[in-house]
């Protein structure tokens, strides 16, 4: 943006939030122009950063941005792994972190009303005081926000049903405030905001996955689940990918699990290993071999030991049909795995400590995953894409994370593709892989939860679908100030 406009913007923003919460200094802005995968893609630079402390300040900021036509990008913690919080055309980074209050934990409706700066960890911690918990990200860093995740369209990996948001409050691009769900009727945000589909269409859904392009989400009412006396994670080993998938499918059908997900041996070893062992290839190989080929984690929640015993028997009987065996580990490994299953941020980082990696995703019914896995292997073979573990072993398939995201209808299939950011050849190969993988996965039938992919996939979409996506944007944001080019190539 031209300097005159930046200076004018700064002056006006300082009037709204106070000078200490706005900056046009590069060193203050750079940290908010990054996300977890910035090493792989080109970076962008904003012109200003602002940290409002109230919904009213956000309203005023958006009115100002409309007046002076300044692009604005909402940013929570930048933990996303999809390049979707970046200032693609410059402008203003709008940090939502100062709005970090849990406004209510409602014990009757089992919900939390939270602001967008509330992290997963904070909600876990506070909800547990009332014997409730949100369904955590499968392996995600809990230092990110639930709202940031919601705007990406992700969350609750392995949580059986992804509809965790009941209603939300949004500041629309013109500065107006609105609520969705049953809170869509004025006054009901206090009387009864707990009905997810209040008046016909599900308007919460349009902000789910919108990447800040339709407005700034300022409150979310989110489901919580009772914490019972016994919360146990049962680990089950399998010999083959297909057996593991069938095991997950039957566990979901059994209907007694809070969360289920699976990893392969190499992913499990990466999570469980401590720092000493990763420098010793021989020891590391022994360590890798101590895991079953595939591992499922099934979280159960029981009132008492009687229920726990019955549940465990049922689970054992179910998985044994596919050769699954209950397994446990010892010492630090068990601790690390349990920490991750419990939602620890530090352990999540372990599985990105090899080379930086990009998670590639697919959303498919379980029976289609082996085909996609083979297709991925074929692309890697064509590109001579080498993936190795700490034992220096070349692996044929990328490390995986398998989660039933919508019961058995759709599974999230995550594959970790590593690259060396400081090596231009490695980066080039990686980007080639990405381009080919996403197109082939789409042609194979995979959905993508993240609206960031619409940029690539628009030519494959139904025209009517894109007409609605673009139409909403046009109606809500005619000046295109909200996160330009984040979701689509042109707007
Ligand atoms: C190692 C690792 C593992 C992960 N595992 C998982 C997983 O298992 N499941 C899963 O779902 N995710 C996973 N993630 C993704 C990540 O954890 C979540 O996406 C995270 O919660 C994002 O939160 P954030 O606050 O950092 O959002 P940001 O990165 O700041 O923002 C994400 C998007 O939301 C928009 N946004 C943020 N706040 C607002 C707002 N108030 N209003 C409007 N738009 C807004 C941004 O513009 C951006 O488009 C993982 C990430 C990593 C690094």
Predicted confidence (pLDDT) per residue in 11-31, tens digit: 999 999 999 999 999 999 999
Ligand 1 centroid distance, CA of 193 (Å) = 24
Q: Is residue 51 part of a domain?
A: yes
Closest ligand 1 atom to residue 483 Cα is 47
> Is the minimum distance from the CB of 476 to ligand 1 under 6 angstroms?
no
Q: Is residue 249 part of a domain?
A: yes
How big is the CA angle at 387 (ends 382 and 391), to the nearest 5 degrees? 145
**Is residue 117 predicted with pLDDT exceeding 90?**
yes
- Whose Cα sits closest to atom 38 in ligand 1? 148
The pair of three-digit structure tokens given for residue 403, joined into one six-digit string: 């989660």
Lowest-pLDDT choice from 315-324, 382-391, 476-485: 382-391
Q: Which residues pair with 222 in a beta bridge?
A: 112, 165
Q: Is residue 475 part of a domain?
A: no
CA 369 to chain centroid:
20
399 and 293 in a common domain? yes
Residue written as tokens 């109606």? Answer: 475
- Quote the pLDDT of residue 344: 65
**Is residue 458 predicted with pLDDT exceeding 90?**
yes
Q: Is residue 471 part of a domain?
A: no
Which of 444, 462, 481 is a domain's end point?
444
d(CA 352, CA 350): 5
Q: Quote the longest CA-to-CA distance of the chain.
A: 71
Whole-model pTM?
Answer: 0.95
Q: How many domains does the chain have?
A: 3
Q: Is residue 486 part of a domain?
A: no
Which of 402, 422, 444 is a domain's end point?
444
Instruction: Give the containing element (helix H, strand E) for 457.
Output: helix 454-457
139 and 107 in a common domain? yes
Tell me: the pLDDT tens digits for 349-374?
676 666 677 888 999 999 999 999 99
186 and 52 in a common domain? no
> Is the minimum distance from the CB of 398 to ligand 1 under 6 angstroms?
no
CA 286 to chain centroid:
32
Residue written as tokens 């400081």? Answer: 422
Q: Is residue 236 part of a domain?
A: yes
Ligand 1 centroid distance, CA of 154 (Å) = 8
Instruction: Give how far Cα 367 sits from Cα of 147, 249, 363, 370, Å.
Output: 32, 10, 12, 7
**Is residue 157 predicted with pLDDT exceeding 90?**
no
Boundaries of domain holding 80? 3-95
Closest ligand 1 atom to residue 154 Cα is 11
Q: Is residue 466 part of a domain?
A: no
327 and 221 in a common domain? no
d(CA 321, CA 13): 63
152 and 10 in a common domain? no
Helix axes 369-382, 241-254, angle to 10 degrees: 150
Ligand 1 centroid distance, CA of 96 (Å) = 13
Closest ligand 1 atom to residue 139 Cα is 8
**Is residue 135 predicted with pLDDT exceeding 90?**
no
Query: Residue 76 sits in a domain of what CATH number?
Result: 3.30.43.10
Ligand 1 centroid distance, CA of 145 (Å) = 6
């Amino acid at each position: 943006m031209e300097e005159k406009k930046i200076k004018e913007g700064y002056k006006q923003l300082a009037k709204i939030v106070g000078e200490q919460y706005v900056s046009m200094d590069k060193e203050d802005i750079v940290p908010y122009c990054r996300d977890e995968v910035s090493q792989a893609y080109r970076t962008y630079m904003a012109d200003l950063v602002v940290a409002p402390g109230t919904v009213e300040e956000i309203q005023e900021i958006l009115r100002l941005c409309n007046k002076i036509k300044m692009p604005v990008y909402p940013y929570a913690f930048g933990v996303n792994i999809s390049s979707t919080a970046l200032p693609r055309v410059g402008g203003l980074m709008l940090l939502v972190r100062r709005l970090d209050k849990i406004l209510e934990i409602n014990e009757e409706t089992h919900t939390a009303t939270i602001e967008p700066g509330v992290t997963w960890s904070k909600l876990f911690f506070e909800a547990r005081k009332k014997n409730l918990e949100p369904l955590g990200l499968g392996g995600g860093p809990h230092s990110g926000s639930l709202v940031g995740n919601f705007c990406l369209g992700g969350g609750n990996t392995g949580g059986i049903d992804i509809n965790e948001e009941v209603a939300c409050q949004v500041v629309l691009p013109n500065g107006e405030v609105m609520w969705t769900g049953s809170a869509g009727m004025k006054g009901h945000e206090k009387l009864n905001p707990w009905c997810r589909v209040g008046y016909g269409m599900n308007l919460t859904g349009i902000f789910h996955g919108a990447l800040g392009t339709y407005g700034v989400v300022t409150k979310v009412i989110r489901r919580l689940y009772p914490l019972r006396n016994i919360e146990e994670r049962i680990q089950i080993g399998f010999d083959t990918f297909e057996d593991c998938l069938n095991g997950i499918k039957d566990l979901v059908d059994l209907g007694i699990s809070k969360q289920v997900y699976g990893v392969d041996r190499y992913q499990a070893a990466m999570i469980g290993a401590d720092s000493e062992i990763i420098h010793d290839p021989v020891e590391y190989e022994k360590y890798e071999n101590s895991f079953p080929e595939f591992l499922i984690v099934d979280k159960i929640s029981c009132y008492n030991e009687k229920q726990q015993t019955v549940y465990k028997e049922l689970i054992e009987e179910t998985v044994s049909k596919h050769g699954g065996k209950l397994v446990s580990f010892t010492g630090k490994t068990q601790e690390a795995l349990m920490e991750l299953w419990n939602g620890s941020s530090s352990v999540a980082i372990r599985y990105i400590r090899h080379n930086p990696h990009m998670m590639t995703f697919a959303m498919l019914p379980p029976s289609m995953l082996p085909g996609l896995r083979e297709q991925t292997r074929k692309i890697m073979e064509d590109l001579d894409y080498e993936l190795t573990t700490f034992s220096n072993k070349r692996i044929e398939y990328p490390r995986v994370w398998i989660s039933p995201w919508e019961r058995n209808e759709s599974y999230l299939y995550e594959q970790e593709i590593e690259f060396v950011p400081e090596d231009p050849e490695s980066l080039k190969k990686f980007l080639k892989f990405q381009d080919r993988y996403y197109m082939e996965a789409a042609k194979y039938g995979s959905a993508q939860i993240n609206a960031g992919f619409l940029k690539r996939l628009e030519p494959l979409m139904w025209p009517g679908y894109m007409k609605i996506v673009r139409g909403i944007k046009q109606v809500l944001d005619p000046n295109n100030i909200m996160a330009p080019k984040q979701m689509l190539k042109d707007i």
